[in-house]
Amino acid sequence: MLQEKTKKIYKAKVVRVEKVSSSSYLIETELPYKVEIKAGQFISVYCDGLTLRRPFSVYSHNNNIIGILFKERGKGTNYIKSLKTGDEIDITGPLGNGFNIKNKKSLLIGAGIGVAAMAFLKSELDKNGIENLFVCGFLNKHEIPNCINIDKIYTDDGSVGEKGSVLNYLDQMINNYKPEIIYTCGPYIVLKTIAETAQQYGLEVQVAMEKVMACGIGVCRGCVIDIKKNGEIVNTTVCKDGPVFLGSEVVWQ
């Protein structure tokens, strides 16, 4: 057990699997002992019969129970959704670096399955009494996970909340709420736009990057991005050096 703990490899027990929207699922697993996890970190799950593990942002963490939200996108996620209560699951983590939480008025923006990392972060901010506003964007009402409490919702088709992309309301949100810091997770274009907009307002923004990760520990170099560091542009890995970066550091393409 000591060797497993050093390697961050756990044999966890499935305690819940539930479909929470038209395309997403929630799975909760119980680890054999408590671990420390920061909002923004992720775990990798071994899927039976597949060589590469699948990475997922941590959605919730309560004592030794970890929750992840995921969409069914292939063989790996199809395997995970087929698990039943009591089944054993092989987890590696927590991996990567999480959000650097600051005691500042916070705007949290999640898009798509990126709401998972934001939901965990919101729970941490609430726990520490930090004022925050949690907003999310989805394609339509059917995509909204029923397990998340969101302050304000935007849908592309207007079926719930404000109509249109959450990006269309960025200036309005910043001007009305007046945040001191922004945290966000979602597709690349969402992070890029938020980072560039935040820079115009002189706001710090921390972005949790979504990237295909093979090894999850920075060895394979399959998730490299460019960041600005000490006046130079350098390669860095999302899995090991991220997934959370300062938006001002990322070289957006």
Higher pLDDT, 73 or 144: 144
Phi, psi of 121 (to 5 degrees): -60, -40
Strands 24-30 and 9-19: antiparallel
Determine which of 120-129, 141-150, 165-174, 229-238 has the lowest per-residue pLDDT on average: 229-238
Determine which of 7-21, 160-174, 211-225, 231-245 has the lowest per-residue pLDDT on average: 211-225
Q: 96 — alpha (psi -120 to 50), left (phi > 0) or beta?
A: left
Fold of the domain built from segment(s) 106-203:
Rossmann fold (3.40.50)
Pair 114, 150: CB distance under 8 Å: no
pLDDT given for residue 34 in this prediction: 84
Tens of pLDDT, residues 9-67: 788 999 999 999 999 999 999 998 888 999 999 998 888 877 778 889 999 998 889 99
Tens of pLDDT, residues 182-219: 999 999 999 999 999 999 999 999 999 987 776 667 67
Bridge partners, residue 42, by sequence: 57, 95
Task: Find the angle CA(182)-CA(247)-CA(222) to the nearest 5 degrees.
Answer: 125
pLDDT given for residue 2 in this prediction: 32
Rg (CA), the chain: 18
> Amino acid letter at 107?
L
pLDDT classification of 5: cutoffs 50, 70, 90: very low
The CATH code belonging to domain 211-253 is 2.10.240
Domain ranges (residues) in the chain: 2-95, 106-203, 211-253
pLDDT given for residue 10 in this prediction: 80
Higher pLDDT, 38 or 73: 38
Bridge partners, residue 13, by sequence: 30, 88
Tens of pLDDT, residues 91-132: 888 999 999 999 999 999 999 999 999 999 999 999 999 999
pLDDT given for residue 48 in this prediction: 83
Segment 2-9 mean pLDDT = 49
pLDDT classification of 6: cutoffs 50, 70, 90: very low
How far is it, in rounded angstroms, from Cα 137 to Cα 155? 6
pLDDT given for residue 214 in this prediction: 67
Domain 2-95 belongs in CATH node 2.40.30.10 = yes
Bridge partners, residue 17, by sequence: 27
